[in-house]
Structure 1
Amino acid sequence: MDKISRETRSRNMANIKGKNTKPEKLVRSVLHGMGFRFRLHVKKLPGSPDIVLPRYKSLIFVHGCFWHGHEGCKRATIPTTRADFWRTKISSNKERDAQNLADLAKLGYRCLIIWQCEMKDTAILKQRLSTFLHDTASLS
């Protein structure tokens, strides 16, 4: 049983943004501080990646654990209310994500997915971004 009313829950879920979220802004801030320049939400690319680094032909997706079904994460639990709806919704999100990654790989892009739960330590986030982008730069 949900602890808040159905109307309140609906309003809360409707207010969740898909772009310019706090996790996304954190990744952008770290990247900018590292000296990288990038584009945001390029609609011409499959999945409209959150961050595009054209110089490195690299993309970064910042995924919410719940919305994208992060395996093994405590934030990715299915709600008890309307569980069938949420299973279907999250499953279709995961399928779409996999298809977008495959399409982007065919176009020659390297992709990094950063999960919301992985952002607790900015030093680790910075190291992960640095490794990904320096590996990408060495391929060029």
Structure 2
Amino acid sequence: MSAAQRSRLMSRISSKNTGPELALRRLLHAAGYRYRVHGILPAQQVAQLHSLHPGIPLRGGKLPGSPDLVFSARRKAIFVNGCFWHGHDCPVGQRRPASNTGYWNPKLDANIARDQRNLDNLAALGWESLTLWECELKTMDDVLCRAASFLGPVRIAQRGATAQGPPQGTGVG
């Protein structure tokens, strides 16, 4: 593969709405979890975090590292990381390009350092985080168990409930 072909190929790799991320979103939504995407927080929560932790940057109203899924009421975030780009300890993550190492090694090392810095900042803000790796998303049952264990039970909102009692047709009452 020529340098121009490789460059064109690498430029087409997206950092948002990747296949593994979309698969996880579908899985969690079907299980009943509701979330925000790409680290975005409600404005009120951003203001509160800014006032409590002025030294931690919340650029554009987003959590550090722009987690792929944000569960703001639970104060939990999930990252879906590509093994190659974020240095996972699987075979794909441990393999580094043999050519142009002066570019790739510092870039990949900086990604790993930045990821750790973002996780540390999230913890300082009082948020828990979970990193799911691209290679782990091949067994979705295991991923759902791991994510559900991290997130806790699904919260079911009762729509139409009034002060008089539960909504009609629930069989309660």
Q: TM-score scaled by structure 1?
A: 0.90
SS in 2 for 1:93: helix
Match of 2:146 in 1: 128
SS in 1 for 2:80: strand
Q: Distance in 2 between matches of 1:101 and 1:122?
A: 24
Tell me whether 1:32 sits opposite 2:35 in the alignment. Answer: no
Match of 1:111 in 2: 129
The Cα offsets for residues 24-62 of structure 1, whole Å up to 9 and x where unpaired, read as: 001111110110100011252111111101121100000
Q: Distance in 1 between matches of 2:102 and 2:149?
A: 39
Higher relative contact order, structure no. (Cα contacts within 8 Å, ≥ 6 residues apart)? 1
Q: Distance in 2 between matches of 1:35 and 1:105?
A: 26
From the CA coordinates, give the structure whose radius of gyration is larger: 2
Instruction: Give the Å deviation of 1:134.
Output: 1.3
Instruction: Give the Å deviation of 1:84.
Output: 2.8
SS in 1 for 2:126: coil
Match of 1:70 in 2: 88
Structure 1, unmatched stretches of 5+, are: none
Say which of 83, 105, 109 aligns to 1:91: 109
Moved more, 117-126 or 41-50: 41-50
Structure 2, unmatched stretches of 5+, are: 41-59, 156-173
Quick one: which amino acid aligns to residue 26 of structure 2? S
Q: TM-score scaled by structure 2?
A: 0.73
| Count of residues in correspondence between the two structures | 132
Give the alignment's Cα RMSD to 1 decimal: 1.3
Runs of 4+ in 1 over 6 A off after TM superposition: none
Q: Distance in 1 between matches of 2:87 and 2:104?
A: 10
Moved more, 30-39 or 78-87: 78-87
